[in-house]
Structure 1
Amino acid sequence: MSKTSTFRQLHTRSIPLLLPNAWDAGSARLIEAQGAPAIATTSAGFAWALGYADGRKLPFDEVAASVRRIVRVLEVPLSVDVENGYSDDPAIVADHVMQLADLGIAGINIEDGADAPSLLAAKIEAIKDALLRAGMDVFVNARSDAFLANLVEKAKQPQEAIARGNVYASAGADGLFVPALVQPSDIETIVDGIRLPLNVMAFPGLTDAVTLGKLGVRRLSAGSVISQVVLGRAKALAAEFLAHGRSEALDDRPLPYSEIQALFA
C-alpha cells in the first residue's frame, strides 16, 4: 500500500487522526518516534525555522529543501502545508505540488484565505490534473478560513464553510480543513453539509478528540502551537542564561543527547 493510500485510510476512523504538526526534520522525526501514524507540517513553524515571517513569505525552493530533509528521516506519510501554493497561478501551484510529490509526500494543505473560492478550486483542479497525468496521488486537504479570518459575519460562517467545502470537493479536494471551528453545533452542521472528511485545529474551547470523533471530525491538527511552545521555552531559557550565566538555568528537563542521537541512527 502506498503512503498516500495509508494516509487516506487514517481519515476513516471513528477517532480523528491526530497530527502534532512538525516544523523541520528534527521535530518530524521526534514526533514520529512518539507513535504518530503520519506527520503534517505547520507553515508558520516552517517559516520561522527557515528565518521568514509566516504568511506566504517563504520562497518555494526553501520549502522543497526542507521537505526533502523531512522525507529522508521519516517512514510514515508526510503532509505538507503549502499555504496558498506560493503563487496565484494554478499552473505554477500544480508544478510546486508535483515537485513535492516527486519527493514522496502523501498530502498537502492548501488554503483560500482572503482569495476567492474559485481561485483555490482552480488550483486544486490543476493539481489533480497534473497528478493524474503523472499517475501519482496526493491527498489534497483544502483549508477554508471562513472562521479563522472571519471572512463573513459569525452567524454565516458555517454555511460559508460548507459552500466553500463543496466547491473544493467538486474541484477534487480530498478533505476540508476549517481552523478556528470550535462550537459542537457548528461542527455538526458542517459535517452534515459537506462530502469530505472534516479537519479541525486545536483551539481554545475545542472539545477532546473522542468527542470530536462522535461529532464527525476525522482529523485534528495541533497547528503552530507546539512550535510556539518550544520557542517560548527557548526564549525563557536563553533570557535566564543571559541574565545570570548559570548552567543550572539550562537544566530544564532536556531531552538526553543519546536519545536525540538515536532518532537519527
Structure 2
Amino acid sequence: MTIAETAEALRRLHADPELLQVVNVWDVATGRAVAALPGTRAIATASHSIAAAFGYPDGEQIPVELMLDMAGRIARAVDVPVSADLEAGYGDAGETVRRAVGEGIVGANLEDQLKPLAESVAAVEAAVAAAEAEGVPFALNARTDAFVHGRDRGRDVWIADAIERGRAYLDAGATTVFVPGNFGEDVVVELVAGLGEQRVSLIGLPDIPAPARLQELGVARLSYGPYPQRVVLAELQDLASYLYDGGTLPRDIRPRG
C-alpha cells in the first residue's frame, strides 16, 4: 500500500465499531514482536519509552531527530499502520508531523499540555494541514491533559474542559480525542456523550473498563502508553535475579517475534 492508503486504513480502524487496541512499542524489536501477532491491526509508539531507551526523561527532552528516526525505523519494519507519540509537537507541530509523514508515520498523538485553547487548536490545525499538504489523510489523536493536569479542579470542571477542548480539536480536523486518565465507566459515558461515538481515545489503566465494555460504550481506541515497557523491564529484572540466584534459562524460549 502507499502511505496514503495506509493512513486511510488507520483512519478506518478508528471509525470501525470494533475497538482499536494499540500496544505501544519503543524500538524495531518490540514493534516487530507486536506486529507479528494475529490480533494486531495497528501499533503506536510511546514517547516516554523511546526517550527512556535513549537515556532521556519524558517531556520533549529527547532530540526530535532521535524520536522521529526511531518511529520511522519501526514504521519501515512492520506491515501495519504506525501512529507515533509526538508529545506536544516539539515546538512546531506542523513541521514535526511533516517530518513524521516522511518517515512513514500515518498517525500521531499530539498533546495540549493544557495550554490556552486557541494555541492548542492552532497546533492541531497545523498538524492536519501539514499532513494534507503531503497528501496523507493523517489519523491525529489529539490529546487533552484536562484530567492529567486539571483533575484537582473537580470532576465536573475537568470533564467539561475535556469536552470543550475535544470538540474544538475535532472541528480542527483531529480524528479522535485522547483523554488519558484513570477513571471509571461513568466518566467514559460522559466523554462519549460529549464528543461522539468512535471519537474518544483512552489509556488502559486499572479503573478504565475492560476493552469489551469500552467497545459497547462507543470508544474508538485504547492504548497503553509506557506500561508495556515497564512490564518488560520488570520481567527482565526478575529473569536477571533468577539467573543470579543460580537459575538457568528455560528450554521453551519462544523464537524472536
TM-score (structure 1 length as normaliser): 0.88
Change (3 A) 1:253 1:86: farther
Give yes or no for contact 2:179–2:200 (8 Å, CA) kept in 1.
yes
2:175 corresponds to which residue? 174
2: CA distance, partners of 1:211 / 1:18: 13
2: CA distance, partners of 1:40 / 1:134: 21
Give yes or no for contact 1:141–1:176 (8 Å, CA) kept in 2.
yes
Moved more, 13-22 or 148-157: 148-157
Identical-residue share of aligned pairs (%) = 31
1:10 corresponds to which residue? 13
1:11 alignment partner AA: H
1:156 corresponds to which residue? 157
2:90 corresponds to which residue? 86
| Alpha-carbon offset, residue 247 of structure 1 | 4.9
1:222 alignment partner AA: Y
Task: Give CA deviations for 1:179-215 in whole Å, capped at 9, x if unaligned.
Answer: 1153222111111111461111101122111111111
2:204 is equivalent to residue 192 of structure 1: no
| Alpha-carbon offset, residue 252 of structure 1 | 5.8
2:54 alignment partner AA: L
1:225 corresponds to which residue? 227
TM-score (structure 2 length as normaliser): 0.90
| Alpha-carbon offset, residue 129 of structure 1 | 2.0
2:160 alignment partner AA: Q
2:140 corresponds to which residue? 140
Change (3 A) 1:166 1:181: farther
1:205 corresponds to which residue? 207
2: CA distance, partners of 1:255 / 1:123: 46
Aligned residues: 251
| Alpha-carbon offset, residue 161 of structure 1 | 0.8
| Alpha-carbon offset, residue 236 of structure 1 | 2.9
Change (3 A) 1:227 1:170: same
Structure 2: gaps spanning 5 or more residues: none
* SS of alignment partner, residue 11 of structure 1: helix
Give yes or no for contact 1:191–1:217 (8 Å, CA) kept in 2.
yes
Structure 1: gaps spanning 5 or more residues: none
2:58 corresponds to which residue? 54
Give yes or no for contact 2:124–2:174 (8 Å, CA) kept in 1.
yes
* SS of alignment partner, residue 220 of structure 1: strand
1:143 alignment partner AA: R
